[in-house]
Structure 1
């Protein structure tokens, strides 16, 4: 089979951000085969509503890796089976879409890396709801060398910053909201490869905490990460979403609720044991996709702090607090995306 390949240095979350802007990305390779916690579906036949014999199809936005560790542990460690579900995970990748499969009932649920994709679809008439936040905190960040760290927005002034085309608008909004004099900043166009930072051609780069810093760490380069969320610019990411039709059908809604319950348990297990998560991912998908065991462990370790939030200890993972919803709406508005509270519901999480 052909492996999915991406342009050099193109991080998985970075790729999704880039592709989401409508930019043309050329990537070789064919679609990855379906990954099942048993069962198959080619993604063309409608799954429909109702209990469907406990079969549940999920579409993820990117290739199987530690970013979805809790999902794979949900299948491997039997959490879905205990809920009476047979879960099929349809992988994503270059030019792979999620929203159309949910809106046309070809899968029961989808995970989108960024909420703006769902919000935009809803604004265009799609009947969708975000039902959980895989990431309570956005991993978008400024990455600098530990020997010359950028620790606060004001530190950006006088610096040379490597910025991707896709990240430029959000970066400018962030700087203006934090009182940075943009005229004192030099923006240098870069791709997603952190090489310009490693070579000290720039002082910091725009990136994701679970991507470029991990890549550099594996090369022995220590970095400092400044998350945008720590400075008033946050929105939930890796959002779970379903169609309104699913929520309106009692049997389909119950299956979706069971899926979210087991997925929470899977993620709790993943957060407890990063090595076990990496072992599962490598055993099932690593050889086919060219994943590296050490990188998957380090990626999950970098990813983990963004999965939990102030309310997840009492309310459980994926919970969307009023504060997080407001932060997300504000963050989307800042980059020109309209959304309101009706886009979000905790009803599948016991809310």
Structure 2
């Protein structure tokens, strides 16, 4: 089975990714269990790092192996190959694989209620909504063009009225005003722009109709059948880690400078910014990983805009009732 890479994180060099993804991180416990992360070690995965260091997986009877991601890692492929029990993915790639390739996946939770991807610009550009992009030059990674075009159409804008150019994961052209805006992670890149002397403005695609989750927790149907108890244990320990992390988003990043964050090339101040910025995108009254019927339908509706036909049956919310 071939799955296309559609991971779209920003501000990480290939060297940094390799350094961060070369060694699995392990917490000692009874039952072996492996998770595949979606990207290099950064604040996006802080709750899992905290749960590992505090022994929450051990308390749940899991011997956790944590596999970092990176630009060459396709999380879904890791679980298909049996190298991991679950993976963090984006719902567009997962649902596309189920719908078009018959991949035996189930989505059992969502880390981000709102996808952090958004349009980033300089404050002075005055770009605060999709309408402001008309006549402007917008840099977008090729894998994300379809999502941006869907967001524009949802807001009554002809994509032809926006000059969409390739994006090379570097905010320098934005700072130098060679482009007007770019598609970036709003939780991270504004910090980088500030360090380069600019003042960033941003808005989420989610807030303008492209309503999809991110870092969806995905398993194979076989794993769901065979390791249900372990999956519930992982969800419970991970939620505990995220709750503790979100109580003080500045407390833990510095502790990981020489461990989880070693070799990424980012500053701890950057990770603290990221950790705080992502907090409101993750929290939900029903708890971390929640997936409501309204949220699921919003995902399916948004994906239909890009030609991906998913169904409710691709999501399993029953494990969340047990944590």
Distance change in 2, residues 1:316/1:271 (3 Å): same
The residue aligned with 2:302 is 331
The residue aligned with 1:341 is 312
Contact preservation (8 Å) 1:73, 1:266: yes
- What's the offset of the Cα at 1:172? 1.7
Equivalent position to 1:290, from 265, 286, 290:
265
Equivalent position to 2:95, from 104, 115, 119:
119
Distance change in 2, residues 1:166/1:99 (3 Å): closer
In the TM superposition, 1:182-193 aligns within 5 A as: 182-193=159-170
Q: What secondary structure sits across from 1:16 in the alignment?
A: coil
- What's the offset of the Cα at 1:195? 1.3
Contact preservation (8 Å) 1:286, 1:292: no
In the TM superposition, 1:244-255 aligns within 5 A as: 244-249=221-226, 252-255=227-230
In the TM superposition, 1:254-273 aligns within 5 A as: 254-273=229-248
Gaps of 5+ in 2: none
Distance change in 2, residues 1:18/1:59 (3 Å): closer
Q: What secondary structure sits across from 1:88 in the alignment?
A: strand
Equivalent position to 2:76, from 99, 110, 135:
99
- What's the offset of the Cα at 1:160? 2.8
Listed one character per residue, the Cα deviations across residues 130-153 of structure 1 (whole Å, up to 9, x for unaligned) are: 110010001121112122331222
Gaps of 5+ in 1: 1-13, 20-25, 40-52
The residue aligned with 1:162 is 139
Distance change in 2, residues 1:301/1:171 (3 Å): same
- Counting matched residue pairs gives 312
Contact preservation (8 Å) 1:74, 1:80: yes
Distance change in 2, residues 1:291/1:347 (3 Å): same
C-alpha distance in structure 1 between counterparts of 2:119 and 2:258, whole Å: 33
Root-mean-square deviation over aligned CA pairs: 2.3
TM-score normalised by structure 2 residue count: 0.89
- What's the offset of the Cα at 1:221? 1.9
In the TM superposition, 1:1-351 aligns within 5 A as: 16-17=7-8, 27=14, 29=18, 31-38=21-28, 53-112=30-89, 114-123=90-99, 124-249=101-226, 252-308=227-283, 312-313=284-285, 315-350=286-321
